[in-house]
Structure 1
Amino acid sequence: MSLVEALLAGERLALARLLSQVENDTPAGRAGLDALYAHTGRAHLVGITGSPGTGKSSLVNQLALALRRPPEGTPPLRVAIVAVDPSSPFSGGALLGDRVRMRDLSGDPGVFIRSMASRGALGGLARATAAAVQVLDAAGFDMILIETVGAGQSEVDIARLAHTTLVVEAPGLGDDIQAIKAGILEIADILVVNKADLPGADNTERALRMMLELANPGRDPHEHQGWRVPVLRTVAAQAQGIPEVIAAVQQHAQHLRSSGEWHSRDRARLTHELEDRLRSTLAEEFHRRLPAADYEAAVEALLQRQLSPSQAVEKLLRQADPARSPQSGSSNG
């Protein structure tokens, strides 16, 4: 039985092995993704982002516990967690500590936790995060919680990947104004003030509501593409406010489906992934065609200020494809 067949049959070991292949971008991983793609598109992808210290991991832990232990009469959901940890800029390694913080979930066959090193990728996600999410989607998980690195304001890539994005804030971090400058509030479908038992929670909630008003002049400050962005309070360490967050996540999923926005977000996500893969594939093909000496000569021409970067690109393209017509205003150098 192949890894793909074993994964579709529900074998967790096959799932873990295929995720490793995908994360390392091996031929087997790429083949597995191709084979599994037809089985994707069913999971609800939920992103959790915010600055370090807001308690994202604790919140994710409590959300998963509540989804696995719902009120009587409600079936539990199968939940996967992808937790992206920052890599060391020196060794490339990562602590991958989210599994340590999520010990309450260990032993539950309906939960799968995967920690991933960011490997230097910007935007809060690892380069293989989207591919890992596809594997977990094909494995039949109902909801996939994607926790970003926690670098704060640059973490907007999650909005391209997730259907629903939670932005987590906490009192006393002093980054409220920077958050709106970076536009991180613009990606929020749900705002969560975690650690709401700490002093300053009222001020943090008030600041978030004020920033929503500043970001949406002339209309309901909480409304975003027909969805009214809620500002919720939680104390994840004590499991307070978790049912309200889950209710908001499920209501947002219903809104996306009823409004057609679910399809639109899937289309935007897949378009972005296609363009990203196309760029990387074309770059690899370009370097295969172009002699290394020509590339080094272009770099040297840049250093000597003999060519501008745009002129160097045009020259390299013509060297790789002699039939290419020169662009207007370009120079042969």
Structure 2
Amino acid sequence: MEEVKRILEGDVRMASRLIRNLEDNIPGAKETVKKVFPYTGKAHVVGITGSPGAGKSTLTDGIIASVRRKGKTVGVLAVDPTSPFTGGAILGDRCRMQRHAEDPGVFVRSLASRGAMGGLSKAIGDSIHVLDAMGKDMIIVETVGAGQQEVDIINHAHTVIVVLVPGMGDAIQAIKAGIMEIADIFVINKADREGAGKLYAEVNMMLDMSPSFPGGWRPPVIMTKNIYDPHQFAQDVEVLAEKIEEHYKMLIENNILGERQRRKALYELNEALRGYILEPILDELVRTGEFSQMVEQLVAKEADPYTLAEEVARRYMNGKVSVC
């Protein structure tokens, strides 16, 4: 298949077109992903998450530069907020990475969140496979910055970076959102601001309360300072890049990488089953108006959600359903 061949050869236009088709649920896009899937599994997937305005895109830009200096290729999937007018991505993240636009070793693609929970796009998993098949050494996934819902990245990334900023109540938000549990590396960005030292101490105090760390890896807390001091900022990002590389080596040496790949596979299988089984049923119920009728029954207390769900399941599964 010509399309698959061109993606394996690193064709940027073909990869961009496929990712766009995946976002738009164009027929045939999934078939192409099926064919490139056997060629995936080689890239180091790095997730960057945190609150809006934390500086994720600026850090991503710095990490790209560091990785390229080592001669490795990079793919970036920047999940942007959805435009209320076009349904597409608002390309704020992509604008901050313009210096890499002419570099053939860097591929940057924005995806629209389109209301997906968890700070990611529904097409993100397949898009990672596309960049992996292209032969990218590192794939960076930058989430949209949706606050407390930003934990889905753990299902896609090998290394998760959580970006915090002084003065935004991030330590408290981290506790609420469960972000402490998903972080492999913490970055306190804009660390020249007042309160950076306090935030650093708070994060380390929370880490001290953890009973153990997989593979003995205690998430380091990296301070990155003023971007308007390019030399200092580059040095700080270089420290971060080294920690990313160290974490990946630790995953391999302690056989933890396989566990994370299995977790990713489990998530993808669940999503695929949902897409092929649940979504067509929901689409049919909506199309026929039955879904609206069931909602009205619930509002009127004429039925409960479990009974209605059981009835639908029995109908579409030929009666083969066990009641919880």
So what's the TM-score if we normalise by structure 1? 0.88
Deviates more, 1:254-263 or 1:6-15: 6-15
SS in 1 for 2:122: coil
CA distance in 2 between counterparts of 1:13 and 1:285 reads: 31
**Structure 1 residues 306, 9: closer, same or farther in 2, change over 3 A?**
same
Counterpart among 117, 122, 130 of residue 117 in structure 2: 122
Alpha-carbon shift at residue 123 of structure 1 (Å)? 0.3
Counterpart among 281, 288, 295 of residue 292 in structure 1: 288
* Kept after mapping to 2: 8 A contact 1:168/1:192: yes
CA distance in 2 between counterparts of 1:52 and 1:299 reads: 35
Aligned to 1:262: 257
Aligned to 1:68: 68
Unmatched tracts of structure 1, length 5 or more: 71-75, 329-333
Bigger-Rg structure (1/2): 1
Unmatched tracts of structure 2, length 5 or more: none
Equivalent residue runs for 1:1-333 within 5 Å: 2-70=2-70, 76-89=71-84, 92-214=87-209, 216=210, 219=211, 223-235=213-225, 237=227, 238=230, 239-286=234-281, 292=288, 295-321=291-317, 323-324=319-320, 327=323
CA distance in 2 between counterparts of 1:236 and 1:47 reads: 22
Structure whose residues are more often helix by fraction: 2
SS in 1 for 2:148: coil
CA distance in 2 between counterparts of 1:136 and 1:98 reads: 18
CA distance in 2 between counterparts of 1:92 and 1:293 reads: 25
Aligned pair count? 318
**Structure 1 residues 289, 257: closer, same or farther in 2, change over 3 A?**
same
* Kept after mapping to 2: 8 A contact 1:59/1:236: no
**Structure 1 residues 132, 151: closer, same or farther in 2, change over 3 A?**
same
* Kept after mapping to 2: 8 A contact 1:170/1:194: yes
Q: Which runs of 4+ in 1 moved over 6 A?
A: 288-291
Aligned to 1:331: none
**Structure 1 residues 232, 6: closer, same or farther in 2, change over 3 A?**
same
2:177 maps to a residue whose letter is: A
CA distance in 2 between counterparts of 1:225 and 1:20 reads: 38
Alpha-carbon shift at residue 326 of structure 1 (Å)? 7.6
Alpha-carbon shift at residue 224 of structure 1 (Å)? 4.2
* Kept after mapping to 2: 8 A contact 1:172/1:200: yes
* Kept after mapping to 1: 8 A contact 2:52/2:145: yes
* 1:261-318 C-alpha deviation (Å, 9 max, x unpaired): 1011011111111011202311244358879365555334323312111011112233
Aligned to 1:73: none
Alpha-carbon shift at residue 147 of structure 1 (Å)? 0.4
Alpha-carbon shift at residue 144 of structure 1 (Å)? 0.4
Deviates more, 1:89-98 or 1:275-284: 89-98
CA distance in 1 between counterparts of 2:322 and 2:110 reads: 48
**Structure 1 residues 323, 108: closer, same or farther in 2, change over 3 A?**
closer
Alpha-carbon shift at residue 94 of structure 1 (Å)? 3.1
* 1:155-207 C-alpha deviation (Å, 9 max, x unpaired): 00001110000001111212321211211111000011111122221111111
Work out the percentage of aligned pairs sharing the same amino acid.
42
* 1:112-134 C-alpha deviation (Å, 9 max, x unpaired): 00011101101010000111011
* 1:2-59 C-alpha deviation (Å, 9 max, x unpaired): 2211111222222222222222222221111011001000000000001112111000
CA distance in 2 between counterparts of 1:284 and 1:278 reads: 9
CA distance in 2 between counterparts of 1:151 and 1:287 reads: 26
Deviates more, 1:306-315 or 1:276-285: 276-285
2:61 maps to a residue whose letter is: N
